Amino acid sequence: MKRIAALAVSALAIVFGVAQAPTLAAPAAPATAGRAAATFDVMDYGAKADGSTNDTGAIEKAINAANAAGGGTVEFPSGQYKSKNTVHLKSNVTLQLDSGATIQGSSADTYDKPESNPNDDYQDYGHSHFHNAMFYGDKLTNIGFTGSGTIDGAGNLITGNPDSGEADKIISLTRCKDLTLSGVTLRRGGHFAALINGCDNVTSDHLTIDTASDRDGWNIISTTNVTVTGANIAANDDALVFKSDYALGAKLANGHVKVRDSKLSAKCCNALMFGSETCGDFTDYDFQGITINGADKSGLGMVSMDGSNISDVHYRDITMTGVHSPVMMKIGTRKRCGNNPGVGHISNVTFDDITGTGNSPSFSPTLWGESGSNHISDITFNNVNLTVPGGNGTMSTGVPSNDAKDYNPKSIGTRPAFGWYLHNADRITFTDSSVRFAGDDGRPAVIANAASGLKFNHFTAERGDDSPADVMFQSVNGYCVSDSANTSGGALRVNASGSTETCP
């Protein structure tokens, strides 16, 4: 909206402390009780919105004016805004993209160059550098991207390691507080549509991300107090992922996160994921009402590779289709984090009302802990019903190979169970759950190895024509299978070697 001269004078008065005449309008100020923030139309600051003129200067002028006035909304009316340089965000400024407004990336190679980072070795290049983005900010408060418009990299952002002048992300924010990211659409983001690290108090509602031709959707790293509702993220690499790396030179806290009523897909990788960067601890995550349409790695993935403890995570009302690995939980020993990290833990995770359908190549749903005190523990599955492709013949039921430094589901060899494979896992409970295959399979439905305290209550498993057993326990201290059956109603065939049964 056009700013009247009185507001411009008011803004200068605030900055320079000049007294105002009684006839002038009140100065623009941040939104407080009873007062709306001022609006700064980028067209008033020289933007052309013609799809070819470089509008970065005008955008920054509007942002600076809003910040100088104590805060406000920078409005983008309908039009095509070419942005050939990195836009430097400021505190107390929200960018509002109206319907029909698109900010386009550029191939001019004139974005900010990547900054140096002494902690490069602890995470991939894209996670280590933040300046080389369409929009960048550090240590900002009360910022946002809202409206119903679009920010489009337009195929000009880099999916690999960028050269000087090239950008590899749309939004890059570090150590921010009070971030709103709602309503807008982010397209063709390069390596990341949005990368935030070390932030607190993040709110997102009806955010759309389309990076199916690029890489990641949204990486939320070392961030606390997050609420995401109504997101629709279609990515090539990871769609919505929670990480904790060492890019900011410290292990930082993560947690107090809620994700509701969202749709996710990932062509090559993980839909809803923890890791692989996992330095700091994660706690208090609540995912509910999630639809996952495709993931060539994990639908629900959780790995601790770099020493983090992941706990108090809850999945409820989730539907997955076309996922190679419906559930993948793994503790690894990559230890790619500063300050000599040890081996992490995964514990206290619940899955309720989950339906998943896998596709080929398939990786059996897996819980893989490390030895000693680093078992995965205290995981419950209630009304979790999975259908996997199946189609394998009989095979050795020995422990498969494992690359402890790799988080990919394929880092563990072909599981000897078509359904659940549990290794180094304690106090795992399945209730009112089932596992089936689309094609006959000669492997058992479940194999548990080097575990303790396993309970299967009202568990249903499909039986392969040539499978040696339905459920196999190998060196399990305390298992119980009760009120369970195969899909034809017959009793489950239990094979226990070196194991003890403990039922109430």
Closest to 45 measured CA to CA, from 16, 26, 67: 67
- Residue 340 in contact with residue 312, Cβ under 8 Å? no
Looking at residue 275, what is its pLDDT?
A: 98
List, as one string, the DSSP characters of 370-398: -STT--EEEEEEEEEEEEEEE-------S
Give the mean model confidence (pLDDT) for residues 463-487.
98
Is the pLDDT assigned to residue 29 strictly greater than 70?
A: no
Closest to 297 measured CA to CA, from 335, 279, 270: 270
DSSP 359: -
For residues 230 and 208, what is the distance between their CA atoms, to the nearest angstrom?
9
Largest CA distance in the chain: 91
Is the pLDDT assigned to residue 177 strictly greater than 50?
A: yes
For residues 207 and 273, what is the distance between their CA atoms, to the nearest angstrom?
18
Looking at residue 37, what is its pLDDT?
A: 77
Closest to 427 measured CA to CA, from 451, 461, 399: 451
pLDDT digits (tens, 9 = 90+) for 309-337: 999 999 999 999 999 999 999 999 999 99
Query: For the purposes of burial, counting CB atoms within 10 Å of the CB of 11, is it exposed (0-12), middle (13-18) or buried (19 or more)?
Result: buried
Q: Which of 31-40, 85-94, 225-234 has the lowest mean pLDDT?
A: 31-40
Is the pLDDT assigned to residue 455 strictly greater than 90?
A: yes
> Mean pLDDT, the chain, as a whole number?
93
Residue with tokens 């910040």: 67
Give the mean model confidence (pLDDT) for residues 161-169.
96
pLDDT confidence of 34, banded at 50, 70, 90? very low
Neighbours of 402 (CB within 10 A): 15
For residues 158 and 160, what is the distance between their CA atoms, to the nearest angstrom?
6
Q: Which residues of 26-46 are buried (b: 16+ CB within 10 A; e: fewer)?
A: ebbbbeeeeeebbbbbbbbbe
186 HSE (CA, 13 A, CB side): 33
For residues 417 and 6, what is the distance between their CA atoms, to the nearest angstrom?
73
Helical H segments across 17-161, by residue range: 56-68, 125-128
- Residue 473 in contact with residue 428, Cβ under 8 Å? no
Is the pLDDT assigned to residue 35 strictly greater than 80?
A: no
Q: What predicted TM-score, i.e. pTM, was given to this entire model?
A: 0.92
Q: Which residue type sits at 158?
A: I
Is the pLDDT assigned to residue 15 strictly greater than 70?
A: no
